[in-house]
């Protein structure tokens, strides 16, 4: 059994679910807001409705985001927010990224 | 942007840019709503003080309610609410509501048509809203 390194490389703290660029971008936007509308996420992240829906479904299944639907008059609106575990996960992911960037080049 | 793998520094830069974009969309609505409501208070209170008789006060109250509804309608177009907005909004409105209710009641009972009361009362009523606008502008 290989010996445990004294200190694991920060890349081990990266969450593959969060590291995917579209999902990471969604979480970055949600981290700066209580709630964000689906349409704004789609426009800023620059993806199609179907791509965004698919990624949101994955994030929702993982408990990282919560989705709420409402009607403004006749028009349906979808609001998305980060859950507590989503915020914790995103913050931990950012911390890991910062640790990687701060590490000496040969250790990256 | 699909399954590409990005450099950590690029991802950090992206997160900062997207967080800033969200704040840039969300904050002006919250700040603007509180600031517009704050600006409305001295006008509404002065209007009540200047109104003659019950019909005049009722007319001012109806115009006031219409403007508040119109301002609140603008919030329907908001696509993002700043972090902590919901948590800050309720206490701000409770404080404003209490100040508004007390000063309006006292004015209607004891100081009808006395602008020397209504103008300062309007300014005092605006203060909780102005402070809320300031807090939203500084929120991160």
**Binary contact (A25, B18; C-beta < 8 A):** yes
What pLDDT score was predicted for residue A105?
Answer: 67
Number of domains forming the structure of chain A: 1
First to last CA, chain B: 27
Tally C-beta pairs within 8 A across A and B. 84
**Confidence check on the interface: ipTM exceeds 0.95, yes or no:** no
Residues A9-16, mean pLDDT to the nearest whole number: 79
What pLDDT score was predicted for residue B62?
Answer: 95
**Binary contact (A29, B2; C-beta < 8 A):** no
Q: CA-CA-CA-CA torsion for B107, B110, B116, B118, nearest 10 degrees? A: 10
What pLDDT score was predicted for residue A27?
Answer: 97
Domain-embedded: residue A68:
yes
Q: Write out chain B residues lying below 8 Å of A32, CB-based.
A: 18-20, 22-23, 26, 82-83
**Binary contact (A25, B79; C-beta < 8 A):** no
Domain-embedded: residue A6:
no
Query: By residue range, what is the domain housing residue A59?
Result: 15-102
Q: Write out chain B residues lying below 8 Å of A46, CB-based.
A: 1
The two structure tokens encoding residue A61: 């299944």
For the segment B77-116, what is each residue's pLDDT rounded down to a tens digit? 889 988 888 889 999 999 999 999 999 999 999 998 899 9
- For A96, which residue in chain B has the nearest alpha carbon? B8
Residue at token pair 């950090």: B12
Domain-embedded: residue A47:
yes
The two structure tokens encoding residue A66: 């919560």
Give the confidence band of A106 by pLDDT, cuts at 50, 70, 90.
low
* Residue that wins the pLDDT comparison between B74 and A97: A97
Nearest-CA distance from A3 to chain B in Å? 28
CA distance B106 to B121: 10
pLDDT greater than 80 at residue B71: yes
Which domain CATH number covers A44? 1.10.10.10
**Binary contact (A33, B26; C-beta < 8 A):** yes
Domain-embedded: residue A57:
yes
CA distance A45 to A40: 8
Give the confidence band of B130 by pLDDT, cuts at 50, 70, 90.
very high
For the segment B24-65, what is each residue's pLDDT rounded down to a tens digit? 888 888 899 999 999 999 999 999 999 988 899 999 999 999
Residue in A19, A34, A39 nearest the CB of B79: A39
Domain-embedded: residue A32:
yes
């Amino acid at each position: 059994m290989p010996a445990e390194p004294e200190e694991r490389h920060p890349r081990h703290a990266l969450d593959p679910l969060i590291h995917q660029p579209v999902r990471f971008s969604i979480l970055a936007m949600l981290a700066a807001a209580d709630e964000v509308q689906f349409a704004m996420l789609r426009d800023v992240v620059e993806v199609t409705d179907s791509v965004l829906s698919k990624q949101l479904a994955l994030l929702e299944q993982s408990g990282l985001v919560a989705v709420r639907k409402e009607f403004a008059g006749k028009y349906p609106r979808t609001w998305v927010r980060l859950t507590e575990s989503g915020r914790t996960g995103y913050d931990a992911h950012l911390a890991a990224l910062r640790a990687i960037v701060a590490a000496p080049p040969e250790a990256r | 942007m699909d399954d590409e793998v990005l450099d950590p520094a690029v991802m950090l830069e992206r997160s900062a840019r997207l967080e800033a974009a969200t704040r840039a969309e969300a904050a002006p609505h919250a700040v603007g709503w509180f600031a517009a409501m704050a600006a409305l208070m001295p006008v509404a209170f002065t209007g009540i003080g200047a109104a003659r008789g019950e019909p005049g006060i009722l007319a001012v109250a109806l115009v006031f309610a219409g403007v508040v509804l119109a301002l609140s309608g603008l919030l329907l177009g908001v696509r993002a609410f700043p972090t902590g907005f919901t948590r800050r909004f309720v206490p701000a409105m409770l404080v404003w509501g209490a100040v508004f209710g007390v000063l309006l009641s006292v004015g209607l009972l004891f100081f009808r048509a006395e602008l020397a009361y209504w103008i300062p009362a309007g300014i005092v009523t605006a203060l909780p809203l102005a402070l809320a606008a300031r807090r939203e502008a500084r929120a991160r």
